[in-house]
Amino acid sequence: MLKLVSSLSRMLLVMITAMMTTLCAAQPAATVAAASDLKFAIEELSSMFEKNTGHKLRLIFGSSGNFYSQILQGAPFHLFMSADETFVFKLAQANKTIDQGKLYAYGRIGLMVPTGSSIHVDSELSGLRTALNNGQINRFSIANPAHAPYGARAKEALEHAGLWTQIEPLIVLGENVSQAAQFATSGSTQGGIIAYSLALAPQVARLGNFALIPESWHTPLAQRMVLMRNAPQAAKDFYEYLSTSAAQEIMVKYGFTMPRP
């Protein structure tokens, strides 16, 4: 009798486990549209989140402005992580989101040149100025200011330094800041202005030299995230997870400043 009860208990446990596995598998994956400056940070965070929860995330990286346009046209995203909170506010006004979202970080920009470059890298861009005056710059990369917040801030910083008029004819536009970073480190340009979060990633850091540009030289990169109205539970859970201390520690590791409570 005891053996029969034990056998039934094991069978019941197997059935419950199978049911739970099926239920987890049935949960829809959440699609996260994230600004490309978040690539390395969010990839690390999503890996931890999926491991701890069993949820599945689909990550798509690009420029915030392009995502904004795509969401207006009905793109099936569930969580939008913008590099500029203005896009989130506009989507909320268009009734595309559940609310106005949450500020999740402040970003930074800086000058990066490829390894071996003779251009001096400094926060005040004096080395860049000298290189321009000496004819050492033929191509210089930033993200497209028309739809990429990091590109818009790069332009503002160059204008603040009095270099925009001189360097504009030499600009090579990246579709987003991640592509601008590729241009700046590959040797296809003599350098560029990229996201601090990308420059801190080992995959990028080993490819060049980087210096932060003063925050006062450009409009703050206030980065805001928001859930869409059709967001599944996985997206909602990830949204909340990003505000935990564990997640914020990862963000700080990649150079982001956390908003004050």
**Could you state, in chain order, the average pLDDT of each consecutive group of 10 residues for the chain (261 residues)?**
46 43 57 98 98 96 98 97 98 98 98 95 98 97 98 98 98 98 96 98 97 98 97 97 97 96 76
Kindly state whether residue 94 falls inside one of the protein's structural domains: yes
Considering the domain boundaries, does residue 260 fall inside one?
no
Whether 65 and 188 map to the same domain: the answer is: no
Residues 102 and 113 placed together within one structural domain of the fold: no
Alpha helix segments (H runs only) across 2-96: 2-26, 39-53, 64-72, 85-93
Q: CATH number, domain at 14?
A: 3.40.190.10
The pLDDT, as a whole number, for residue 4 is 42
Distance CA 233, CA 100 (A): 18
- 163 & 143 share domain: yes
Per the structure, the complete domain to which residue 55 belongs is given by: 2-106+221-253
- Helices (H) then strands (E): counts for the chain: 12, 10
Please tell me the predicted confidence (pLDDT) of residue 27. Answer: 59
When divided into structural domains, the chain yields a total of 2
Asked whether residue 261 is domain-assigned, the answer is no
Give yes or no: residues 64 and 115 share one domain.
no
pLDDT at 13: 42
pTM: 0.88
- Check whether residue 83 and residue 141 sit in a common domain: no
Q: Do 209 and 117 sit in the same domain of this protein?
A: yes
The answer to whether residues 36 and 93 belong to one domain is yes
